[in-house]
Amino acid sequence: MASVPSLASNVQQRLADALSAALPEAGPADPLLRRSDRADFQANGILALAKKLKGNPRELAAKVVESIPANDVLKEIEVSGPGFLNITLTDQAIVETLAARAADERLGVPYAENAGTTVIDYAQPNVAKEMHVGHLRSAVIGAAMVEILEFTGEKVIRRHHIGDWGTQFGMLIQYLIEHPHELDHQRDGEVSGEEAMSSLNRLYKASRALFDSDEEFKARSRDRVVALQSGEPETLALWQRFVDESKIYFYSVFDKLDMEIHDPDVVGESGYNEMLDDTCRLLEESGVAVRSEGALCVFFDDVKGPDGNPTPLIVKKSNGGYGYAATDLSAIRDRVQILGADTLVYVVDARQALHFKMVFETARRAGWLNDEVKAVQLAFGTVLGADGKPFKTREGETVRLVDLLDEAVQHATGVVREKDARKELTEAEIAERGEQVGIGAIKYADLSTSAVRDYRFDLDQMVSLNGDTSVYLQYAYARIQSIKRKAGDVRPAAHPELPLAPAERALGLHLDRFAETVAEVAEAYEPHKLAAYLYQLASHLTKFYDQCQVLSADNPAEVVENRLFLIDLTARTLHQGMALLGIRTPERL
Ligand code: ARG
C-alpha cells in the first residue's frame, strides 16, 4: 500500500521551494522546520541564510512568505522574532492526511529505503541455570527491536546465543553419570518448565558441592570436559539432555512472556564449535592475534588493567581451551559471511560492553566487519529493586524470573478485577486480561526507559492506571473500542471540511507523527521513544475526551463521524505501536 508523507515533510517541501524561489542566489537551503508550541511548526532556517546573504532576516522572511503560492495546506505563516516563521496548518490538511493514513493498513508508514539484513542476538539464557531479570531485559528489548525492524522492511534473523558450552558441563555430566536418575521425572507425560528447572537446579547445586569438596570428582569432571570437547558420543548425548531439559524451561518462560522463540533460531555457543580452530588460525595468520604467555591474544592501545598493563582479548587460552571471545568472533563470521548480514545487533547487558568493544574491534581488524557491515551492542542497564539497589530477594538471592512474572500477573489480575466494578467480565476473561496487563506492564516498564539506564522494578507503579504505564495505554485502547460499540451503526468517517477543536488538532498532529517515530526508533535502536510516543498519544486522547464529546446528541452527524474517525485511527495506532513493543491491547478491560 501507499506510504503517506507526513505533514512535516509536506510543509518542509513547500518552504524549501519557497526559499529557492525567493532567494535563488542562496542555492538549496534547509528551512529547519521544528515543532512549536506557538504554532504547529516553526522554521528557523532563514536566520542562517540572512547571515550568509548579508540581508535583513525579517525582510527575507517576508519575501519567502510572499513567494509561497496559494494552497490549502498552510493556513497562516507569521514572521516572528528576529526572522522565524510560525506556521499553522489548515484543519483540512490535517484530516486529509489522516484519512490517507487510515486508508492504509500500515497507517501510511513507509518501508525503509535502505533496508538490509540484520542479525539480532537477544534472549540468551544459560543452560542448566535459572533465568534472571537480565535475561528478561534482553528478551523484551530484543523482541521489540525485531518487530520494529521487520515493520520497516528490514530482513531480520534472530539468534539466541544461549550459554550451552563450557567447562561446567564436565562437572554436570560427570555427576549425572554417577547419579543416573537425577534428571528423571516423578511422573510420565509432559514435563513442565518449572519441573525441568527444579531438577536442573538440584543437580547443579549437588554437583557443585561435590566438585568443591571432592578432589577426585573434580579430576573426573576435568577428564569429562576433555571427552565432551573431543565429541565422545556418550558424553555428548548427556550434554544434549541438559540442553533439551533447559529448553523446556526456557520455552515455558518465553511462553509466559507471550513471546515466540523458534527452535532453529536458538544457536548457542556450541553452534560455533566447528569454526573455532579456523577463527584462531585466521586471526593468527593475519597478525591480528599474537601468542602471549602461551595464549592467543589481541591487544588494544586503550584497554588497560588497573596495573596499567594492557588487557588483551584472549581468543585461545594457554591450555588450548576456547572461551566466550572465540565463540563470539566465530559467530560474527557466520552471521556476516553465511547469513549475509550487514548489521549485527547484540542486546546484551551494559556490563559486557568492554567484551563487545574488543570483539568488534578484533573483527574489524580481521576485515569481518567494515564500513558496509557494522555491529552494535544495544546495551541495557541493571534492574534495581524498589530500594534502588540491584534486584535481589530478601535473602539476597537472585530473583527468579518466573516468580516475578507470576507476581506481576497476580497483581494485574487484582487491578482488572477491581476495575470491573459492574462485574461485566467472566472469571476466564479476568484471568486472560490479568496476563495481558501484567506481562504488558513488565515489558512496558522495561521498554519505556532508555535501555542503557538502570531502572527500578516496582510492580505497584508498573500496573498503576495513571501515569506512563502499559495499563494506561491499554485502557485508552479499550475505551475507544467501547465508544465504537456504543456508536452502533454509525461508522467512523473523515470530514476534512469541518473545523477542528484545539484538542482534535493536537491529537491529529500527533497521530501524523507515527511514521517518523517508527523510522527514528528503528534507526537508533531506541524503543523507549516509541513508548514515549504512545504515551503522549494516549495523553492527547485523554485531553480530547475532556474537551470533545464523541457521541453527544448535540453533535451534528458529521462531527460524530469525524470524531469516531479520529479515535478509531488513534486506536489503530495504539494497537500497532503496542504490537511493535510486544504488548497486547485487549478489546475490553
Ligand atoms: N548468555 C549470556 C549471558 O547470560 C549472554 C549472551 C550474549 N550474546 C553473545 N553473543 N555473547 O550473559
190-244 pLDDT tens trace = 889 988 999 999 999 999 999 999 999 999 999 999 999 999 999 999 999 999 9
User: Helix, strand, or coil here: 340?
Assistant: coil
Q: CA–CA separation, 353 vs 524, rounded Å?
A: 18
| Phi, psi angles (nearest 5°) of residue 439 | -70, -40
Distance 166 CA to ligand 1 centre (A): 13
Query: CB of 444 within 8 A of CB of 473?
Result: yes
Mutate which of 122, 124, 126, 137 for ligand 1 pocket (most atoms within 8 A of beta carbon): 124
Q: How many residues does the chain have?
A: 589
Average pLDDT over residues 303-330: 93
Alpha helices in 257-351 (DSSP H): 276-285, 324-333
Residue 188: what pLDDT?
A: 65
- Helices marked H in 450-496: 459-462, 470-487
Does an H or E element contain 577, and which?
helix 557-581
Are 339 and 256 in contact by the 8 Å Cβ rule? The answer is no
Instruction: State if residue 327 touches ligand 1 by the CB under 6 angstroms criterion.
Output: no
pLDDT surpassing 90 at residue 309: no
CB of 323 closer than 6 angstroms to any ligand 1 atom? no
Give the list of residues 6+ apart from residue 200 with CB closer than 8 angstroms, or none.
128, 129, 183, 242, 245, 246, 249
| CA–CA–CA angle 436, 437, 443 (5° rounding) | 90
Handedness of CA 273, 276, 277, 282 (dihedral sign): positive
pLDDT in tens, 356-380: 999 999 999 999 999 999 999 999 9
Q: Which three cell numbers stand for residue 523?
A: 534507526
Kindly state if the Cβ of 474 falls inside 6 Å of ligand 1.
no
Q: Compute the average pLDDT of residues 155-177.
A: 96
- In this prediction, residues 484-503 reach a mean pLDDT of 97
In short, whether 328's Cβ falls inside 6 Å of ligand 1 is: yes
> pLDDT band at residue 1, thresholds of 50, 70 and 90?
low
Q: 162: CA distance to ligand 1 center in Å? A: 7
126 in contact with ligand 1, CB cutoff 6 A: yes
Average pLDDT rounded to a whole number, residues 59-85: 91
Listed in order, strand segments (DSSP E) in 125-179 are: 155-159
User: Given a cut of 70, is residue 110 above it in pLDDT?
Assistant: yes
Is residue 186 predicted with pLDDT exceeding 90? no
The number of the ligand 1 atom at minimal distance from the alpha carbon of 355 is 11
User: Is 91's C-beta closer than 6 angstroms to any atom of ligand 1?
Assistant: no
**How does strand 343-349 pair with strand 374-380?**
parallel
For residue 68, the one-letter residue type is: I
Non-local CB neighbours of 322 within 8 Å, separated by 6+ positions:
276, 280, 315, 316
CA of 136 to the centre of ligand 1 (A): 12
Ligand 1 atom closest to 163 (CA)? 1
Q: pLDDT at position 187, please?
A: 62
Q: Give the whole-angstrom CA distance, residue 6 versus residue 515.
A: 8
Is the pLDDT confidence value at 30 over 70? yes
Does 161 sit in the ligand 1 pocket, CB within 6 Å?
Answer: yes
Q: Are 374 and 382 in contact (CB under 8 A)?
A: no
What is the average pLDDT across 249-273?
97
Minimum CA distance residue for ligand 1 atom 8: 161
Q: Is 49 exposed, middle or buried (0-12, 13-18, 19+ CB in 10 A)?
A: buried
Percent of all residues in the chain with a pLDDT value above 70, rounded to a whole number = 99
Which of 22-36, 137-151, 494-508 is least confident?
A: 22-36
378 and 345 Cβ atoms separated by less than 8 Å: yes
pLDDT over 90 (residue 398): no
Mean pLDDT (the chain, rounded): 94
- 75's enclosing H/E stretch is strand 74-80
Report the range of poorest mean pLDDT among 47-51, 142-146, 551-555: 47-51
Separation between Cα atoms, residue 402 and residue 115, nearest integer Å: 37
Number of the ligand 1 atom closest to the C-alpha atom of 126? 1
Report the interhelical angle of 168-178 vs 233-256 (nearest 10°): 110
Give the per-residue pLDDT at 37: 87
Q: Please determine, for residue 321, whether its predicted confidence score (pLDDT) is greater than 80.
A: yes
Confidence tier at 49 by pLDDT (50, 70, 90) = confident
What pLDDT does 459 receive?
87
Radius of gyration of the CA atoms of the chain, in A: 29
Q: Which whole-number Å values give the CA distances from 428 to 277, 393, 408, 431, in the listed order?
A: 55, 31, 17, 5
Paired with 423 in beta bridges are none
pLDDT at 385 over 90: no
In short, whether 124's Cβ falls inside 6 Å of ligand 1 is: yes
Domains and CATH numbers, the chain: 7-89 (3.30.1360.70), 117-293+321-340+348-374 (3.40.50.620), 381-459 (no CATH), 465-589 (1.10.730.10)
Tell me which residue has its CA closest to atom 4 in ligand 1. Answer: 125
* 3-class SS of residue 374: strand
Instruction: Report the C-alpha gap between 123 and 378 in whole angstroms.
Output: 13
Q: Are 97 and 135 in contact (CB under 8 A)?
A: no
Residue reference for cell 520494529: 148
Q: What is the distance in A from the centroid of ligand 1 to the CA of 356?
A: 11
Question: Ligand 1: which of 250, 267, 352 to mutate, judged by most atoms within 8 Å of the beta carbon?
Answer: 352
For residues 309-333, give the mean pLDDT: 95
Distance 222 CA to ligand 1 centre (A): 24
Please state, in angstroms and rounded to a whole number, the distance separating the CA atoms of residues 530 and 389. Answer: 28
Give the single-character DSSP code of 69: P
